[in-house]
Chains A and B, each alone.
Chain A
Amino acid sequence: MVDLLRTASLTALAVAALTSCSAFRDKDGRPETRAGAPAASGGRRTERTATAAPPAPADVRTPERTDTGAESPKRHASESLVEEGKGYWIAGRDREARERFEQALVLDGSNGVAYYYLAEIAVDAGRWDEAAGYRDRAAALLRGRETYREPLAELARRIAERR
């Protein structure tokens, strides 16, 4: 009897597949665009597509990917600088915009939105290597922010075309 129970439980474990996904909040809507910037939607995705996963092993977990700093006081303060920077960026004042985004990062280096806009500025200036670095950071930090998925993909495409 014991053997039978053991066999049944092991069989169940071997067949079971665990998946999880994190629920991400997207609290500020789509990223800003400005006249002349390519439309975010419709761009080709350039991120690497994962190959089909092998049959799931017995005990698999997904690493924690929640932005634990999202509600921190310094993130809120950092976001206020990002908002200032967005205003300058839309107005075409890239120098002042960049200063604000950098100040936002000095305050909170995990603010993915700041990296995103720095990538935009670098792309506009033709600094492709730099743009790729910022975009990579933004992509890592904004994973799960659906409104940034397409714009990040678009940035990746523009960078890949020119590098």
Chain B
Amino acid sequence: MTPRSGRPPRRGARGDPSPARSGTRSTGSGGSTTSRGSRGGRRWRRGAVVGLAALGLLAVLLTVYALSLEREITAKWQGRKWNIPSRIYSDVEPIYPGLNLARSEIPIKLESLGYRRVSATPRPGQYSRSRDRLTIHLHEFDYPDGAFRGFPLELSLAGNRVTAMRDGRSGRDLSLARLEPEMIASIFDEHMEDRTPVALRQVPRDLADAILAVEDKRFFTHRGVDPVRIAGAAFANLKPGEELQGGSTLTQQLVKNYYLTHERTLSRKLKEAQMALVLEAKYRKRDILEAYLNEIYLGQQGSSSIAGVGEAAKYYFSKDVGQLTLGECALLAGLIRNPGFYNPYTHGARAEARRDLVLRLMLEQERITRAEHDAARKEPIEVGGRRPELNTAPYFVDFVLEQLEEQYGQDALTSEGLRIFTTLDMRAQRQAREALVKGLDHLEEGYPSLRKTAGQLEGAFVVIDPQTGYVKALVGGRDYGRSQFNRVTQARRQPGSTFKPFVYLTAFQSKTPEGGRYTTVTGISDDPFTLTSGGRNWTPENYDKQTHGTVTLRTALEKSYNVATARLALQVGLKRVVATARAVGITSPLKALPSLALGAFEVRPLEMAAAFTTLANGGIRAEPLTIVQVVDSEGRTLEKREIKMKRVVDAEATYLVNSLLQGTFERGTAAPARRMGYSQHAAGKTGTTSDYKDTWFVGYTPELLALTWVGFDSNRPVGLTGDRAALPIWTRFMLAYAPGVAPEFNAPEDILLVGIDPASGYLSTPDCPVVRYEPFVIGTEPTEVCPLHGYLAPQEEDGWWIF
């Protein structure tokens, strides 16, 4: 007999009392003759001995089998009972007086979080809206800083603006509230089971009663197998037209789901029964019931299954299990038999009928009163809003997972139910993705040559709050389904002209060859030059193929002149430029070569974005953050990542660079953004590599930075400059996400604005036709007035010179 297979013993195996063997004796050995009766008695005794031995052996084998089953059951029971997927969450959504709901994410979030709109007083997971009031009954949520008990949040409105907030339960005025974060991903093992574990004490009695009523009313009296139920089911199934009934107890169902495969064979059923008996002998009824409530299959969401009542309560009703009504409990219990068939989302009438059947059984079994039964039957079935497909931020999730796997391992992520809270801003993410995808589509429509070769035009978009380092959005490509390659965090591309600001930043922290300080109006020659090094010549060239004589640093950067910038980098020293790049956080390999000034090295877009946040934040670098906190399934914090910042470059030098980069919107390569309707005081830099393979735009205000990259994965030239390819995508995003007035860049104390004639770079006079207020560190401003206009200009008509 082979215990594990459960197959019946084969004839002729050891211990088998084969009649062919017994009774064969030699009678010729001793010569004595016995009577027929005594021979019969001896045969009987031998048979009895053999039979007893066989029974004994069978008992031993059964015992061994039972012990092995027990070991199998115990090992799995006492270890982790089931794998709990880890969850990744977005950032919270704050609500406060003064907030404009039309500009916030709140209306979309209510739907994403499964809140249902009702006209009556909202219950948990519902909201109601009138002209001057929005009431949201907030979900319970386990935040890292503590469990939150939901309450009705009442918002007074004037149009779309929140004028006041209060706790509808206590009446207390509130200055700040939050909508819980959205779950943006679950991390499953190969079983793909979505589960929210619950303890038995958290499960409403009505739910347990409903399940027992319909699935196993004698649960507390049988020993794991219910012969009465088996017989009843067999009899009922003989009747034509009746719904097929199962004879399995809850214990057997648990064994089937948790320990065994789902093959429908007699041997598996027998093993299931045997294991059920062992389980019942070993563990308490309440433990078995709790395990069942967490294990039972209750439907499908996409590719993952809904396992257990905790997850089912969230999925079907957007509630915690403790908040379910009697009718909802009955509906969930009714789902067990066939979740797809009775799914309330798709088959409302069947779900209702099944619910009513469960309620009737509960009444018959005296688990509820007639009044409770009648009231529950009258309840309309109100399913929660279904969670949208979890695919809003796949590249961001991948980046988070890369960091987590390194630290915690794949096994912990798929089975230990970690909760990961991130910096993702869902509104920024949605709008970034839309801007990128629509922008690339638009480029292909406008420039059909971009479609001609194999390989699709691709892009990357990342949004960072420079003041905290929070990565608010990350779009690593046009279509995650087609390509999971993350162009924000994994691609290495040449930054081209987007690197130039760091040359100027170096200059503003350096001395000129004459020993003075570089200013925005310091002149630099844009005349051509050639460098010879190692027998090779390098001759930088401007995009317009022109040269421009001596220009101010402002003009050189606003217009992105290559020649002037390369000359400046050589003047200040390439090693110093490398040092500046390192200070702002560029870690990619850099060589102190002249082409460095023009961005002829490779860098990851996230690295460039983070480097520019230093400029946006006044010379202080806040480390980029995507993960804020990791919490285990018990609510203990495993990791908390803090906002960290450090001054890495001078505040004054940074302010000067920001001033130049603001000028790109007025007079330089970012001016097309103004024509698209963008009017904020942002700073920005276009980037195009010399072979047009990479196009960039990085733009920022003190509170928001966004970077766009457009190109081909195959490195084929795009043929467009940054202002044509990348800038429109950036502008579209900024207009959608941040339409309000951005603050000005904070000027350090040692900065003055001085009226300058841009034509000469000297102090303006009343006769200068154009006056621009240039920032200077005190003591570095020009002291001579403009020689081109006004009182220093020769007055030829009358010969007078005005000093």
Contacts and interface: CB of A to CB of B under 8 A. Distances in A.
B552 interface: no
A109 B91 contact: no
Contacts of B798: 3
A150 interface: no
B779 A65 contact: no
A51 interface: yes
A53 B778 contact: yes
Interface string B646-661: 1100010000000000
A116 to B, nearest CB: 13
Contacts of A96: 145
B647 A136 contact: yes
A65 B747 contact: yes
A137 B620 contact: yes
Given A57-B782, A59-B763, A76-B96, A65 B647 contact: no
Given A63-B747, A63-B753, A143-B749, A77 B651 contact: no
B647 A98 contact: no
27 contacts: A10-B802, A53-B779, A54-B779, A57-B755, A58-B764, A60-B755, A61-B755, A63-B752, A63-B775, A65-B746, A69-B743, A73-B96, A73-B99, A74-B96, A74-B98, A77-B176, A99-B145, A102-B468, A102-B642, A105-B468, A110-B743, A130-B645, A132-B646, A133-B644, A133-B645, A136-B651, A137-B620
B400 interface: no
B746 A54 contact: no
A59 B765 CA distance: 9
Given A102-B643, A110-B703, A73 B98 contact: yes
B743 A68 contact: yes
Contacts of B651: 136, 140
Nearest to A102: B643
A105 B645 CA distance: 13
The range of chain B's interface size is 35 or more
Contacts of A76: 96-98, 175
B175 A110 contact: no
Given A73-B97, A74-B96, A74-B98, A7 B145 contact: no
B30 to A, nearest CB: 96
A46 interface: no
A60 B176 CA distance: 43
A136 B190 CA distance: 50
Report which residue of A59, A81, A129 has the largest number of chain B beta carbons within 10 angstroms of its beta carbon. Answer: A59
Contacts of B91: 106
Contacts of B703: 109-110
Interface string B168-184: 00000001100000000
Interface in A1-19: 3, 6-7, 9-10, 13
A41 interface: no
B778 A51 contact: yes
B800 interface: yes
Given A60-B755, A68-B744, A134 B98 contact: no
B246 interface: no
Interface in A125-142: 129-130, 132-134, 136-137, 140-141
Nearest to A129: B646
B491 interface: no
A64 interface: yes
A137 to B, nearest CB: 6
Nearest to B472: A106
Contacts of B755: 57-61
Contacts of B800: 3
Contacts of A110: 467, 702-703, 743
Contacts of B643: 102, 105, 118
Contact of B646 (A62, A105, A130): A130
B112 to A, nearest CB: 20
Contact of A136 (B96, B620, B750): B620
A50 interface: yes
Contacts, number: 139
B465 interface: yes
Given A51-B779, A141-B746, A60 B465 contact: no
A142 to B, nearest CB: 11
Contacts of A77: 94, 96-98, 175-176
Nearest to B470: A106
Given A62-B753, A106-B91, A6 B802 contact: yes
Given A54-B783, A77-B176, A105-B468, A133 B145 contact: no
Interface in A63-88: 63-65, 68-69, 72-74, 76-77, 80-81
A111 B215 CA distance: 59
A118 B98 CA distance: 27
Contacts of A62: 752-753
A6 B797 CA distance: 15
Interface string B90-102: 0100101111000
B193 interface: no
B746 A140 contact: yes
Interface residues of A, number: 49
B749 A13 contact: no
The majority secondary structure among interface residues of chain A is helix
B646 A60 contact: no
Nearest to A65: B747
A99 B465 CA distance: 18
Contacts of B802: 6-7, 10
B96 A60 contact: no
B593 interface: no
Given A13-B766, A133-B647, A61 B753 contact: yes
B748 to A, nearest CB: 7
B528 to A, nearest CB: 35
B762 to A, nearest CB: 10
A102 B645 CA distance: 12
B778 A80 contact: no
A71 to B, nearest CB: 10
Nearest to A99: B145
B328 interface: no
Given A48-B750, A102-B642, A140-B651, 20 more contacts: A6-B802, A10-B790, A10-B791, A50-B750, A54-B779, A60-B753, A60-B755, A61-B754, A61-B755, A63-B744, A63-B753, A74-B98, A76-B97, A98-B642, A102-B643, A109-B703, A132-B647, A133-B620, A137-B467, A140-B748
Interface in B756-794: 763-766, 771, 773, 775, 778-779, 781-783, 785, 790-791
A107 B99 CA distance: 12
Interface in B316-371: none
A98 B91 CA distance: 17
Nearest to B99: A73
B778 A64 contact: no
B618 interface: yes
B751 interface: yes
Contacts of B749: 50, 143
A46 to B, nearest CB: 14
A10 B766 contact: yes
Interface string B402-442: 00000000000000000000000000000000000000000
B470 A134 contact: no
B640 to A, nearest CB: 8
A130 B642 CA distance: 11
B645 A63 contact: no
A7 B470 CA distance: 58
A78 to B, nearest CB: 8
A110 B744 CA distance: 11
A60 B752 contact: yes
Interface string A29-67: 000000000000000000010110110011111111100
Nearest to B175: A80
A76 B95 CA distance: 12
B753 to A, nearest CB: 4
B33 to A, nearest CB: 100
Nearest 4 pairs of A and B residues by beta carbon: A73-B98, A109-B467, A59-B755, A63-B747
Interface string B72-101: 000000000000000000010010111100
